[in-house]
Amino acid sequence: MKKIILGSLSAALLATSLNASAMDAEDAIQFRQAGYKFMAWNMAKIKAMAIDGKAEWNLQQVQAAANSIAATANSGMGALYFPGTEKNVGNTKTRVNPDMFKDAEGVNQVGMAFHKAANELAAAAETGDQNAIKKAFAATGESCKGCHDKYRLD
Amino acid sequence: MKKIILGSLSAALLATSLNASAMDAEDAIQFRQAGYKFMAWNMAKIKAMAIDGKAEWNLQQVQAAANSIAATANSGMGALYFPGTEKNVGNTKTRVNPDMFKDAEGVNQVGMAFHKAANELAAAAETGDQNAIKKAFAATGESCKGCHDKYRLD
């Protein structure tokens, strides 16, 4: 991953883009949940290979998983958080804390931290250095948790 | 996206990896659906910007979306198709055609086509050439459809 588009999360969060305004709130919630779910799978794969030893080490798979996480982090998911998506819509439930929508500065902070960590994980995977990968993986997990603790309801 | 890991889909489909065997069938279905859903969002963004003109052209966003699609295509989702995932599990419904699990050659064909198209879309986005992006986007959509027509039930 060569490109690091820092700041895109908060910028997108605050923007009223054509994309956002034309998008159904229920779709937006489902798209962002899909992104997190797919990242969870990729995080689990790296954990199994690099941390727990529950799966055989395979650098190509670690890199693919890390690239996927970074690309998701770089995809501008902030655009999926717009007014109307702070609550359940139809049959789609969200665990987002509605307070998040009033805290642009806090969102920017956790968003940037995640963005940085995910791209550093992809960079570490690119080097193939297992210790660097472990460290970057832990930092990425921490950055996920940083947002969950603050903006995800139980 | 520098890396193209061709053949990983079919290889993973046929492999009984630790990852797969340790994974719950319901989780696997949800993970693969998350991947497709998140790609649908990224495809929709490129469509709105590059094809329909429903959103303002933004090369950085087109690249981010294309990179996300390619990284998903490269992530080894074939590992999420293992015996037990050919039918609904718990509350999780799948639209996969069970015949897919008996057609390794056909799966390889559609998988490779999608893989190639997604990575070519990312490469086209990298160049910034709008015509190349439109062409690669259409080819990617076709490759999605190639699998849907064959292996997705209505």
Tell me if chain A has a CB within 8 Å of the CB of B21.
no
> Which residue in A64, A65, A71 is closest to B67 by CB distance?
A71
Cβ contact, residue pair B19, A48, below 8 Å = yes
pTM for this entry: 0.89
φ/ψ of residue B96, rounded to 5:
-65, 140
Tell me if chain A has a CB within 8 Å of the CB of B38.
yes
pLDDT less than 50: residues of chain B: 1-21
> What is the predicted ipTM?
0.89
Cβ contact, residue pair B48, A19, below 8 Å = yes
pLDDT of residue B68: 98
Burial of B115 (0-12, 13-18, 19+ CB in 10 A): buried
* Helix residue ranges per DSSP H, B5-86: 8-14, 18-22, 25-46, 59-73
Which of the residues B32, B57, B68 would you substitute to probe the A interface, choosing the one with the greatest number of A C-beta atoms within 10 Å?
Answer: B68
Tell me if chain A has a CB within 8 Å of the CB of B59.
no
Cβ contact, residue pair B71, A64, below 8 Å = yes
Chain B residues with CB under 8 Å of A33 CB are 34
Which of the residues A1, A30, A33, A41 would you substitute to probe the B interface, choosing the one with the greatest number of B C-beta atoms within 10 Å?
Answer: A41
pLDDT of residue A4: 42
Structure tokens, B21: 């065997």
Chain A residues with CB under 8 Å of B67 CB are 1, 3, 71, 74-75
Distance from C-alpha of A102 to C-alpha of B27, rounded to nearest angstrom: 33
Tell me if chain A has a CB within 8 Å of the CB of B18.
yes
- B69 with B122: CB under 8 angstroms? yes
B111: how many CB neighbours lie within 10 A of its CB? 26
Q: Which residues contact B89 (CB under 8 A, 6 or more apart)?
A: B25, B26, B29
pLDDT of residue A154: 86
pLDDT less than 70: residues of chain A: 1-22
Measured in Å, how far apart are chain B's first and last C-alpha atoms?
33
Tell me if chain A has a CB within 8 Å of the CB of B8.
yes
pLDDT of residue B23: 86
pLDDT 10s digits, B101-111: 999 999 999 99
